[in-house]
């Protein structure tokens, strides 16, 4: 048994089996969630490349697997990352139990997670670009609602991801020349430019962000949230892998400045657009844009890598709660059609769906870094470090975040102020299972915000996987 078989091929094969069982929705969701949790538990408890004894049997999980002349390696240092990836995947799969995200969501979600695990594991490193393209193809299927044609948002997502791949591959071609002639500045400059263009496409950096609100509006909210979170996280891991492997790139004087400018641009433009947005689903897309920008800002800071990883849990909880709330709000009782989520159609819905409306607002405020919520500790730390490194960028980030808060206040007023002149009657129309998941999500937002020292330090330690980028202990 090898680690890539256990944490890559097994979930992909299981996804294929669950795809054949997709008619039994609750069963496939339960099995998929259980498998993700089991893989997370194994990654947490079982060492790699160490002889283990189980009664009279001894066995060892090997780190490497050779496939067609290429090698996949998941070492002992990768176990914390594997644990986090599968725990986060399990969160999304569990929410699918009540969200009716489609019968193929969990099966293809397992396939996607297995492929994403292969991104930091493949050697030669640049072959990860091909894996990301395969992930993009699977994600397009996830983002397409059952029985509906391919929508423009998913198509634009696929186009931009495909356009980014050649630039990454050309970068690898140039890097061969850089390694042979390290003093050739022209080759270094060209490789850096091509690499930057590739990641501009992949990370939806302005002006190539347009697919984010489109996908959020067109796709099922949970499918969109899963793709937004998991895909952007692994693409950023891929980028960190470049910095870890190539000293000339991480030591470039302009790198931190460019990352900060890109991050500030995404936070600022996303904040401005979300503040004037009148559609809850499109707000979701712009909120994700702001979060990607914050991740870039964290990576740009000296010693900011632990902060980048600490952001994962607050972001995952907020996006999952926001996704589930959108699912509830767009559902019209006794109808298969979805309710449009523009302000005109959702006014006063908090009187019928108080828990969903409250969860959406709290998730939005958490991403905005309001006190007592999960996003507050990491946002305070980010702002403090940005203020020391670049006050102008810190101000731009604050302006973008203010737009996010303004969007939350506008949504609050629309959802909770009923258009009828008479005093409306409050009802709790969410189903029992939905109430449970929303309550757990909202509780998690407060627990992580009130006790960050119990949850965030283990995530911050994931930075140790990148010893050349992580701060010295």
Q: Residue 186 has what pLDDT?
A: 67
Spatial distance between the Cα atoms of 89 and 77, rounded to a whole number of angstroms:
20
Question: Residue 302: is its pLDDT beyond 90?
Answer: no
Spatial distance between the Cα atoms of 268 and 51, rounded to a whole number of angstroms:
52
In a domain, 203, yes or no: no
Structural domain including 261 reads 253-473
Alpha-carbon distances of 1 from 9, 39, 51, 386, rounded to whole Å: 11, 14, 12, 45
In a domain, 245, yes or no: no
pTM: 0.90
In a domain, 59, yes or no: no
In a domain, 68, yes or no: no
Q: Residue 180 has what pLDDT?
A: 53
Cβ atoms within 10 A of the Cβ of 103, count? Answer: 18
Q: Residue 181 has what pLDDT?
A: 57
Q: Residue 122 has what pLDDT?
A: 84
What b/e readout covers 326-343, taking b as 16+ CB neighbours within 10 angstroms? bbbbbbeeeeeebeebbb
**Region 405-431 average pLDDT:** 81
Express as a percent the part of the chain with pLDDT over 70.
93
In a domain, 446, yes or no: yes
Average of per-residue pLDDT values in the chain: 87
360: confidence class by pLDDT, cuts 50, 70, 90? very high
**Region 451-461 average pLDDT:** 89
Spatial distance between the Cα atoms of 297 and 401, rounded to a whole number of angstroms:
13
Spatial distance between the Cα atoms of 349 and 352, rounded to a whole number of angstroms:
5
β-strand 57-60 against 122-123: which pairing, if any? unpaired
Tally the domains of the chain: 1
Tokens standing for 24? 């039994």
Question: Residue 87: is its pLDDT beyond 60?
Answer: yes
* Tens-digit pLDDT profile for residues 108-150: 999 999 999 988 888 777 788 888 899 999 999 999 887 777 8
Q: ∠ CA 78-81-82 to the nearest 5 degrees?
A: 85
Spatial distance between the Cα atoms of 215 and 190, rounded to a whole number of angstroms:
33
Question: Residue 331: is its pLDDT beyond 70?
Answer: yes
Residue recorded with tokens 């509006």 = 217
**Region 268-280 average pLDDT:** 93
Q: Residue 423 has what pLDDT?
A: 61
Q: Is 207 exposed, middle or buried (0-12, 13-18, 19+ CB in 10 A)?
A: exposed
334: confidence class by pLDDT, cuts 50, 70, 90? low
Question: What is the 8-class DSSP label of residue 24?
Answer: S
Q: Residue 361 has what pLDDT?
A: 95
Residues with Cβ within 8 Å of 111's Cβ and at least 6 positions away in sequence, in order, are 11, 12, 15, 16, 138
* Tens-digit pLDDT profile for residues 172-190: 777 765 555 555 666 677 7
Q: Residue 45 has what pLDDT?
A: 87
In a domain, 464, yes or no: yes
Which among 79, 93, 187, 168 has a CA at the least distance from the CA of 125? Answer: 168
Residues with Cβ within 8 Å of 251's Cβ and at least 6 positions away in sequence, in order, are none
Q: Residue 11 has what pLDDT?
A: 93
Which among 397, 401, 396 has a CA at the least distance from the CA of 364? Answer: 401
99: confidence class by pLDDT, cuts 50, 70, 90? confident
Q: Residue 75 has what pLDDT?
A: 85
Tokens standing for 234? 């692994």
* Structure-model confidence comparison of residues 292 and 340, the more confident one: 292
Are the C-beta atoms of 262 and 296 separated by less than 8 Å? Answer: yes
In a domain, 417, yes or no: yes
Are the C-beta atoms of 114 and 32 separated by less than 8 Å? Answer: no
> Which secondary-structure segment (H or E) carries 197?
helix 185-202
321: confidence class by pLDDT, cuts 50, 70, 90? very high
Tokens standing for 262? 């890109």
Q: Residue 130 has what pLDDT?
A: 86
Express as a percent the part of the chain with pLDDT over 90.
47
Question: Residue 257: is its pLDDT beyond 80?
Answer: yes
**175 φ, ψ to 5°?**
-65, -30
* Tens-digit pLDDT profile for residues 8-57: 999 999 999 999 998 898 899 999 999 999 999 999 988 887 777 766 67
Least confident of 185-199, 234-248, 347-361, 443-457: 185-199
Spatial distance between the Cα atoms of 366 and 72, rounded to a whole number of angstroms:
37
In a domain, 139, yes or no: no
Q: Residue 333 has what pLDDT?
A: 67
Tokens standing for 203? 């990370």
Q: Residue 339 has what pLDDT?
A: 81
**Region 218-236 average pLDDT:** 91
Question: Residue 192: is its pLDDT beyond 60?
Answer: yes
Spatial distance between the Cα atoms of 469 and 461, rounded to a whole number of angstroms:
12
């Amino acid at each position: 048994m090898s680690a890539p078989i256990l944490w890559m091929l097994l979930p992909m094969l299981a996804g294929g089996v669950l795809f054949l069982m997709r008619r039994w929705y609750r069963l496939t969701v339960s099995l998929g969630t259980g498998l993700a949790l089991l893989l997370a538990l194994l990654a947490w408890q079982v060492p790699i490349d160490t002889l283990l004894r189980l009664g009279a049997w001894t066995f060892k999980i090997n780190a490497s697997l050779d496939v067609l002349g290429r090698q996949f390696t998941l070492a002992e240092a990768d176990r914390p990352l594997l644990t986090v990836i599968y725990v986060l995947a399990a969160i999304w799969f569990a929410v699918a139990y009540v969200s009716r995200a489609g019968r193929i969501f969990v099966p293809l979600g397992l396939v996607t997670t297995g492929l994403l695990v292969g991104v930091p594991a493949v050697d030669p490193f640049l072959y990860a670009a091909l894996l990301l393209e395969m992930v993009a193809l699977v994600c397009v299927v996830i983002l397409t609602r059952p029985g509906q044609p391919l929508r423009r948002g998913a198509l634009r997502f696929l186009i931009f991801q495909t356009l980014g791949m050649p630039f990454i591959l050309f970068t690898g071609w140039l890097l061969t020349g850089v390694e042979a002639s390290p003093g050739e500045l022209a080759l270094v400059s060209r490789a850096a430019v091509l690499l930057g263009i590739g990641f501009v496409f992949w990370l939806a950096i302005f002006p190539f962000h347009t697919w984010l609100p489109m996908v959020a509006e067109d796709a099922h909210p949970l499918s969109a949230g899963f793709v937004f979170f998991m895909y952007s996280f692994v693409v950023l891991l891929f980028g960190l892998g470049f910095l870890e492997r190539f000293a000339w790139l991480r030591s470039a004087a302009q790198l931190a400045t460019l990352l900060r400018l890109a991050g500030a641009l995404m936070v600022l433009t996303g904040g401005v657009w979300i503040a004037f947005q009148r559609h809850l689903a499109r707000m979701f897309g712009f909120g994700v844009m702001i979060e990607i920008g914050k991740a870039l800002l964290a990576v740009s800071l000296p010693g900011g890598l632990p902060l980048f990883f600490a952001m994962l849990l607050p972001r995952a909880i907020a996006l999952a709660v926001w996704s589930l709330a959108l699912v509830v709000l767009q559902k019209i009782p006794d109808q298969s059609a979805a309710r449009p989520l523009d302000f005109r159609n959702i006014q006063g819905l908090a009187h019928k769906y108080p828990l969903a409306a409250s969860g959406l607002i709290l998730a939005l405020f958490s991403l905005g870094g309001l006190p007592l919520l999960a996003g507050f500790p990491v946002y305070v730390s980010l702002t403090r470090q940005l203020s020391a490194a670049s006050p102008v960028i810190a101000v731009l980030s604050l302006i973008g975040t203010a737009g996010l808060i303004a969007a939350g206040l506008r949504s609050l007023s629309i959802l909770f102020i009923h258009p009828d002149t008479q005093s409306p009657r409050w009802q709790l129309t969410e189903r029992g299972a939905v109430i449970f998941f929303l309550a757990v999500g909202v509780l998690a937002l407060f627990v992580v915000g009130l006790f960050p020292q119990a949850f965030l330090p283990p995530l911050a330690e994931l930075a140790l996987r990148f010893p050349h980028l992580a701060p010295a202990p």
